[in-house]
Chains A and B, each alone.
Chain A
Amino acid sequence: MLINEFLLLGAALFAIGVYGVLARRNGVMVLMSIELILNAVNINLVAFGALHQDVVGQVFALFVITVAAAEVGVGLAIVLLLYRNRQSIDLDEVDSMSG
Chain B
Amino acid sequence: MLLAETQVAQHIAFGVIAAIVVGGALLVVTTNNVVRAALYLVAVLAGVGASFLLLGAEFVGITQILVYIGAIVVLFLFGIMLTRAPIGSELRLTGRGWPAGLAVAIAIAGVLGYALIDQFGNDKLPPGSQQYTAQVSDSIFSTYLVPFEVVSVLLLAALVGAIVLARKE
Chain A interface residues (CB < 8 Å from chain B): 1-9, 11-29, 31-33, 35-36, 39, 42-43, 46-47, 49-51, 53, 55-59, 61-63, 65-74, 76-81, 83, 89, 91-92
B78-104 residues with Cβ-Cβ distance < 8 A to A are 78-80, 82-85, 92-98, 100-102, 104
> Which residues of B lie under 8 Å from residue A25 when comparing CB positions?
92-95
Question: B80, B82, B94, B105: which has the most chain A beta carbons within 10 Å?
Answer: B105
Complex A-B, nearest 4 residue pairs according to Cβ-Cβ distance, in ascending order: A22-B101, A70-B158, A20-B29, A23-B98
Counting CB contacts under 8 A, is B16 at the interface?
no
- Chain B: how many interface residues by the 8 Å CB criterion? 88
Inter-subunit contact B101/A55 (CB<8 Å): no
Inter-subunit contact A69/B155 (CB<8 Å): yes
Smallest CB separation, A63 vs chain B (Å): 6
* Majority-rule SS of B interface residues: helix
**9 additional contacts (CB under 8 A) given A22-B104, A53-B126, A59-B136:** A4-B123, A15-B106, A16-B105, A28-B80, A50-B56, A58-B131, A61-B52, A66-B155, A80-B166
Can you pick out 17 interface pairs between chain A and chain B where the beta carbons lie within 8 Å of each other? A1-B7, A7-B120, A9-B21, A18-B108, A22-B95, A22-B98, A24-B93, A27-B83, A28-B80, A31-B76, A43-B51, A59-B139, A61-B57, A65-B63, A66-B67, A70-B158, A76-B76
Supposing A1-B11, A4-B123, A26-B93 touch, asked if A80 and B82 sit within 8 A by C-beta, the answer is yes
Contact among B14, B75, B105, B117 for A72, CB-based, below 8 A: B75
Inter-subunit contact B151/A7 (CB<8 Å): no
Supposing A13-B22, A25-B93, A59-B140 touch, asked if A6 and B51 sit within 8 A by C-beta, the answer is yes
Smallest CB separation, A80 vs chain B (Å): 5
Contact among B11, B78, B94, B123 for A24, CB-based, below 8 A: B94
Inter-subunit contact B83/A2 (CB<8 Å): no
> Which residues of B lie under 8 Å from residue A23 when comparing CB positions?
29, 94-95, 97-98, 101-102
Smallest CB separation, B148 vs chain A (Å): 8
* CA A74 to CA B71, docked complex, whole Å: 14
Which residue on B lies nearest to A71, using beta carbons? B158
> Which residues of A lie under 8 Å from residue B93 when comparing CB positions?
24-26, 29
> Which residues of A lie under 8 Å from residue B106 when comparing CB positions?
15
What 0/1 readout, one digit per residue, does chain B (140-155) give for beta carbons within 8 Å of chain A? 1000100110010011
